[in-house]
Amino acid sequence: MQDKSLFRLALMGIFALLIIGGVISFATFSAKDSGPQIGSVEIWGSYDSKQFKQYLSLMQNNFEGFDKVKYTYFPESQFDEEVLEALASGRSPDLLFIDETQMSRYLNKTYTLTSESYSKRIFQENFVELAEVYFRDGGIVALPLASDPLVMYWNRDLFASAGLAQPPKSWPDFFELAPELSIVDESLNVLQSTIAFGETRNVNYYREILATLLFQIGNPITYQAQDGNMYAILKGNDTVESALPVLRFYTEFSDASKGVYSWNRSLLSAEEQFLAGKLAVYFAPASDIAGLRLKNPNLNFAIAEIPAVDEDVSRRKSVHARLHGFMIPRASDNIGGAFTAATNMTSQLGANLFLDLSNLAPVRRDLVNTVSEEVYQDVLKTEAIYARTFIDPNEQSTNGIFSRMIEYITSGQRSIDQAISVSNAELDELLQN
C-alpha cells in the first residue's frame, strides 16, 4: 500500500510539473512561436495589391508560416468571373478577401465555421456587432479584418468664413446651415453648396448615404424571414418605419422652391465640388481620406462623425460601413491552413498591422478603445462601434434601384409612397434571384 501511495505522489508531482510548464508556456506565448503549420495558402481579392502584399510581409515577420501565404489581385469587375471559373475547374483559392457586397454570391460555396471551430460567443466577444452579418446557416461564414464606415468631411475654411466653429451634429442642423453656407444666384444657379443631397447622378456614395439614413430610423433595408429567405423592407411594417421620412429629407435639398436648396444635377460630382472648395460637407468612406489629400493637398478639411437623426440620445446611432473579411471556399485543398491564416490575420496583432497600413476602422473590440495618433482615427473607432451594413446581392443593381427611387420623386413621376413601393418590389426580386 505504501508503494502505491508513493507511486501516486510521484505521478501527481509529474502532472504538477507538466501543468506548471504549460502555464509558463502559455504566459510566455508569442504569435511567432506557435500555431499549427499553415502550409501554402492562396488568397484572392480585389483589395489594393501593393498594400495587402505589404501587410503579408508584416505578418511574415510576426507569425510563423506566412512565407507561403500569397495574395492574388483581380480587378473588381473580373473578380467574380475568375473565382467562379476557378471553383468550377478545381483550382480554388484557399481564402477570399472580400466585402459584404460580394458575400452573398459565395455563401453556398463557402466553408461554414461551426461552434466547435469558432463559437458565436467568442466571435461576439472579439468583434463589434457589424461583423455579425457573417452569422449564416447556423455558423460563421467569414472572419472580419476591418471596416470602412461613411464619415463626414467638412471644409473648415467655408465654415469659418460663415462664422461657424463646429460641423453639424444632427441632420436637422442642415436646415439652419443651408442658408448660411449655400450661395444661389437669381437664376437659381448653385455657386456654393452646403450638402450634396437630392440627386444620385452626381452624388458619390448615395447608396451608403441612404443606407445610413435608413438605419438611423430603424429600417434595416433587408431582413431574413423565417423561411430563410431575404426580403426587402423599404415599405416598413408594424414595427419598422418606412423609408418615407428619409426620402423626403434627402430630396429636400434639390428642390429649388425650398429655402434649403443646395444641389442640382448640373453640378460636378460631389467629390469634385468638395475638392474645388465649393461644397461645405461631403460624405464618403473613411478610406477616401488619402485620395482627397493627394488630389488637393491645400484643401483645409477635417473629418467628423456622421450626423444623428436628432439630439434624442435614446435613438441608437447608426452608420453604413463596408466590411472586409476572409471566406474559406469549400473547394480549398488546405482548409486547415486557410483557417489558421485567417485567425492569425484577424487576431489583435494581425488586425492592428493591417490598420496601420490602411485608413480603415477596427472591427475587433480590443482595438476600438486604443489611443490613436490622429484625430480622424478616433472618429473611425467611435463609428466602428455602431456601424451597420446589409446583405446586398448585387451592388450595381441596388445602386440602380436606389437611383430610380430618388428620380421618381425629384422628377414628379411618382409620389414618395409609390416610389418606395416600386423600389421595394425591385429589391425583393433581386434578393430572390
Residue 243 lies in a domain: yes
Mean pLDDT of all residues in 352-370: 94
Q: Is residue 202 part of a domain?
A: yes
| CA angle in degrees (0–180, nearest 5) for 17-22-24 | 95
229 and 173 in one domain?
yes
- CATH code, domain carrying 128: 3.40.190.10
Residue 29 confidence (pLDDT) above 90: no
- The secondary structure of 356-412, three-state, reads HHCCCECCEHHHHCCCCCCHHHHHHHHHHHHEECCCCCCHHHHHHHHHHHHHHHHCC
Position 25 pLDDT exceeds 50? no
| CA 112 to centroid of chain Cα atoms | 21
Domains contained in the chain, number: 2
Residue 115 and residue 126 share a domain = yes
Residue 75 lies in a domain: yes
Question: Are residue 95 and residue 171 in the same domain, yes or no?
Answer: no
Query: What's the CA gap between 250 and 262, in Å, rounded?
Result: 11
All three cell numbers of 342, joined, read: 485567417
Would the pLDDT of 313 be above 70? Answer: no
Boundary of a domain, candidates 381, 400, 422: 381
Identify the pLDDT of residue 156: 98
Is 235 strand, coil or helix?
coil
Q: Does a structural domain hold residue 14? A: no
Assigned domain for 23 exists = no
| 30 within a domain of the structure (yes/no) | no
**Residues 270 and 365 grouped into a single domain:** no
Q: How confident is the model at residue 3 (pLDDT cuts 50, 70, 90)?
A: very low
Q: Residue 312: what pLDDT?
A: 64
Q: Is the pLDDT of residue 22 over 50?
A: no
Average pLDDT over residues 158-181: 95
**Interval 402-414: pLDDT, tens:** 999 999 999 999 9
Residue ranges making up the domain that contains 91: 35-148+322-381
Given the C-alpha cell 409612397, which residue does it identify?
417
Residue 239 forms part of a structural domain: yes
As a whole number, mean pLDDT of residues 116-129 equals 95
Question: Is the residue at 9 inside a domain?
Answer: no
pTM: 0.89
419 and 356 in one domain? no
- Among 361, 381, 401, give the residue marking a domain's end: 381
pLDDT value at 253 more than 50: yes
pLDDT digits over 107-120, tens only? 889 999 998 889 99
Q: Which of 381, 398, 419 is the last residue of a domain?
A: 381
**Same domain, residue pair 309 and 334:** no
